[in-house]
Amino acid sequence: MSATSSRKLTLADIADVRAYEREREAFRAHVIELKRRRRVHVGNVVTVVFENRDTMRFQVQEMARVERLDTDQAIQDELDVYNPLIPEPAQLCATLFLELTSAEQMREWLPKLVGIERSLVFRLPDGSEVRCAVEAAHATQLTREHVTAAVHFVDFRFTPEQVEAFVDGVVLAVDHPAYAEAVELAPVTVAELRNDLVETV
């Protein structure tokens, strides 16, 4: 089995509710720590969480637990939604959150940030840039002409040379006309994301 196909979740990867309850506390702690290393704040409004197989398995397990999903078809429906957010080699997948906690902030920022989901860009130490694309299955649901959503799903595609250049010093920027911010990734985050980019992890 290739590295690409082995990353996606199958029905066999999803524990039934009783089995999941036995592992949930430890697995939840693991994913919380994982997300800590994979979360990047870009300014005060934008937060990006880079997803991988474990974060998506946690999402599916929690959905199954809360919604009492107990058939293969119900689980497969969830896998079909979340598998596209598990990166292939030379790809990063992320959830972009607008950290808006009040109705006043939402009224101010959601109209202002239309197009934010196309404004994330990696600036690599070799001088090249990798801009995000919108995850296709979600684009039509979340993109509006006059107001944006508070959550978006995006991905980044890298050339082999850009994968090699993904080292300490990588900057994640937002270059939206209404929101220009940038942050250098912590070394622990660079190491995490390199694991997503390379063929063997």
Closest-CA residue to 158 (of 200, 107, 104, 122): 122
The mean pLDDT of 100-111, rounded to a whole number, is 94
CB atoms near residue 49 (< 10 Å): 16
- Let me know how long the chain is: 201
pLDDT class of 200 with cuts at 50, 70, 90: low
* Residue whose structure tokens are 């599916």: 60
Task: Give the CA distances from residue 41 to residues 10, 98, 139, 172, in Å, rounded to whole numbers and listed in that order.
Answer: 31, 10, 23, 9
Residue of 147 and 169 predicted with greater confidence:
169
The reported pTM is 0.90
Compute the mean pLDDT over every residue in the chain, rounded to the nearest whole number.
Answer: 91
Residue of 87 and 135 predicted with greater confidence:
87
pLDDT class of 66 with cuts at 50, 70, 90: very high
Q: Taking 60 as the threshold, does the pLDDT of residue 3 lie above it?
A: no
pLDDT class of 70 with cuts at 50, 70, 90: confident
pLDDT score for 201: 44
pLDDT over 90 for what percent of the chain?
A: 86
Closest-CA residue to 43 (of 153, 176, 194): 176
Closest-CA residue to 8 (of 120, 127, 89): 89
Closest-CA residue to 101 (of 182, 176, 63, 44): 44
Q: How far apart are CA 8 and CA 165, in angstroms?
A: 26
pLDDT score for 105: 95
pLDDT score for 134: 87
Q: What HEC string does 88-127 produce? A: CCCEEEEEEEECCCCHHHHHHHHHHCCCHHHCEEEECCCC
pLDDT score for 5: 52
Contact, 55 vs 49, CB < 8 A?
A: yes
pLDDT class of 146 with cuts at 50, 70, 90: confident
